[in-house]
Chain A
Amino acid sequence: MSATLDRPVSAVDPSGGRGNDKSRAERKLGWYLAGPAFVVMLLVTAYPIVQAVFDSLFDYRLTDPQNSSFVGLGNYGVILTDSVWWTSFGVTTFITVVTVAVELVLGFGLALVMLNALKALRPVLRTVILIPYAVITVVSAFAWQFAFSVDSGFVNSWFSFLGATPETDWFGTQGLSLFVICLAEIWKTTPFISLLLLAGLAQVPDVLQEAAKVDGASWWQRLRRVTLPNMKAAIMVAVLFRTLDAFRVFDSVFVMTAGANNTETVSFLAYRQTIERVEIGLGSAVSVLLFLSVVLISALFIKGFKVDLSQARGE
């Protein structure tokens, strides 16, 4: 409505500034409505992380609560000097970097195909692309594990020309296991990335493409110099979200290898310490370290790559 146009810039938003009483009432109502959701969010995250920080300062085993003792940062010392932590950290980083990189390229390809495919095909594509997203991670992990496994898989017999034999054990070495884990992760999450990128692609106006064509740009040049710069926000948001998501990888590892052959990730390490070995103190310390890593990654993205989340989120 023109009311917004018609109002001088110096005036505040119409919903906000109708006299002081009204805006005060509005502020109150805003918090009444949004407050419960806010409080619940804090309760289910802020409380646990504070508790985790607290627990991590104790040598505390659930089965032996009498012998709980304050050890300060001792747990962190134990973890950070142990190669188990560094192996899991390395594995997690490896999975994150590989999956995000492959997903970005593959996802962009899928987005391009969805954008350019025949009109008749498009709705079909947009439906099937959601299926990997909707399939439970555990199910996807099982599907890939079974496909590669020695006792129920078909991969070994299909790819014998590449040197696979019926006895090739994909889960017998670190390298091959990580390969299958990454494959499963990539399959499951690429569609989500491609949808985000497609939305970004759709926002690059066609006229820009046409203008670039007239200016003599080749397909590749248009992609590199017009399309990509204009969807930078979409790409960065997709990468950030996926990086953080990938860094928490747990389900696939649990199902496929249960951490065997040095495929343990940080999340899995925290799980094993806390839930299986009930070492609450040590497990909490791993959790806190994981949390700090995630915060660090976010800070790195937001400060280093200038990902403007508010802009990208339509604020």
Chain B
Amino acid sequence: MASIEMSHIVKQYGDGFPAVNDVSLDIADGEFMILVGPSGCGKSTLLRMIVGLEDITSGDMVIGGDRVNDKAPRDRNLSMVFQNYALYPHLSVFENIAFPLRLAKVPDGEVKKRVEEAAGVLELKEHLERKPANLSGGQRQRVAMGRAIVRSADAFLFDEPLSNLDAKLRGQMRTEIARLQRRLGITTVYVTHDQTEAMTLGDRVCVLRKGVIQQVASPRELYEQPVNLFVAGFIGSPPMNFLPASVEGTSLSTPFGTVELGAERAEKVKGHDLLLVGIRPEYFEDASLVDEAKKPHGTTFSARVDVTEWLGDAQYAYIPYEAPAEIAEQLKALSRELDSDQLRTQAVVSIDSTSRIREGREAEFWLDTRKVHVFDPKTGENLTRDAEAGRKLTEEAAEDRIEQVERAKV
């Protein structure tokens, strides 16, 4: 068990490019920390610096109170699950799991006991004599986990462990990892580019962009109080919609009508001509299905629906809108950076699955304006973020974690 403290960590490559730039991050003992971001953001590099596979250019890496910058990987007592599992192809499943114990010269009887224990937890007992090449993807993944949990490491490191599995298995292994982590109460750092994994697994999530930390917070805080356009766009699926807007008194004029901000928020956005308003898909609703009591909290507008997707439990409608060239260009750049490739400016709107809104029709929508955020398109900064509310959300998550760990111990 150990905490991991990073201060001002920099990773610079030969050509001077900083892959990780001045990262300071404290991971508490027993905490599940997610490092997330699009490809190229430096998250894997950071993980590999924790485990010691990558040299640290400058800054301090402290694990369990010891500075480990100059320690070899084997002296750090961490275990890691690699993206492609890194199973030794010439060793059986048993010997793969036993490998760290063999290196530590653990007596045979003890090795057998501990490997079987780990295999039991991961339901690998009947595969122990097989070679990795003969296992399915999910089984290989579990062997890699087995090798990680078989010795009492100070922390677990995961490098995109589920990215080679199909969607269904990924879901199962996700809950398995969460359960295991709580049971063992062990500090965990988990790298992923999948925001679903980030949201479901992490106690806290660290969002990285081009080697720089954008925000470290609980999933709820990231979702409800993102610091900037990048975080807002990265977290959430389908992603947040960004509409061009201009200030008019205390309200914003957008392609979908006027959004009332109220005096307090209007004050924050004052002095900008062109803004981006960020609206999550679920802030929209089919106007005909909204309670009369709720209606005053939002605004109603009518738009032509391009495409609808009915998913059973929800329904998405796509509404194209016009945006000024500079905004359209910026949104395109953002979507490219987030590894998606949006072709047209359109809003994704989540409506009730019973809604009769169909594609090609003009329809009435309602928009809940209370939770919208307003971003400065130049800096990307969230102008309407409520830091206090965000802090509270993350504190709650920390309390939840402590409670869960206590319960798991009993």
| Chain A residues proximal to chain B, CB less than 8 Å | 1-3, 5-12, 14, 16-20, 22-23
Contacts and interface: CB of A to CB of B under 8 A. Distances in A.
B194 to A, nearest CB: 12
Contacts of A8: 17, 19, 40, 210
Contacts of B312: none
A2 B19 contact: no
Contacts of A7: 13, 19, 40, 45
19 contacts: A1-B44, A1-B82, A2-B39, A2-B44, A2-B193, A3-B159, A5-B39, A6-B39, A6-B41, A6-B45, A7-B45, A8-B210, A10-B17, A11-B13, A12-B15, A14-B54, A18-B54, A19-B12, A20-B14
B39 to A, nearest CB: 5
Nearest to A12: B14
B11 to A, nearest CB: 9
A291 B40 CA distance: 50
Given A2-B163, A6-B43, A19-B12, 14 more contacts: A2-B39, A2-B160, A2-B191, A2-B193, A3-B44, A6-B42, A6-B45, A7-B19, A8-B17, A10-B15, A11-B13, A12-B15, A18-B54, A22-B55
B299 interface: no
A17 B54 CA distance: 11
A238 B149 CA distance: 50
Contacts of A17: 13-15
Nearest to A9: B40
Interface of chain B: mostly helix, strand, loop or mixed: loop
A3 B48 contact: yes
A22 B39 CA distance: 26
Contacts of B159: 1-3
A218 B270 CA distance: 70
B13 A6 contact: no
B54 A2 contact: no
B208 to A, nearest CB: 10
Interface string B86-119: 0000000000000000000000000000000000
Interface in B36-83: 39-45, 48, 54-55, 57, 82-83
B19 A19 contact: no
Contact of B55 (A3, A6, A18): A18
A7 B41 CA distance: 7
Interface in B1-53: 12-15, 17, 19, 39-45, 48
Contacts of B84: 1
A2 B194 CA distance: 13
Nearest to A5: B39
Interface of chain A: mostly helix, strand, loop or mixed: loop
A15 to B, nearest CB: 11
B14 A19 contact: yes
Most buried by B among A3, A17, A18: A3
A39 to B, nearest CB: 28
A1 to B, nearest CB: 5
Contacts of B45: 3, 6-7
A7 B210 CA distance: 9
A6 B42 CA distance: 6
A5 B44 CA distance: 9
Contacts of A20: 14
Contacts of B12: 19
A5 B193 CA distance: 11
Contacts of B54: 3, 14, 18
A203 B210 CA distance: 37
A156 to B, nearest CB: 55
Contacts of A19: 12, 14, 55, 57
Nearest to B42: A6
Contact of B44 (A6, A10, A11, A22): A6
Given A2-B83, A6-B43, A19-B55, A11 B160 contact: no
A1 B48 CA distance: 11
B14 A23 contact: yes
B81 to A, nearest CB: 11
A3 B84 CA distance: 12
Interface in B113-167: 159-160, 163
Contacts of B44: 1-3, 5-6
A12 to B, nearest CB: 5
B13 A12 contact: yes
Contacts of A9: 40
Contact of A16 (B14, B17, B82): B14
B95 to A, nearest CB: 22
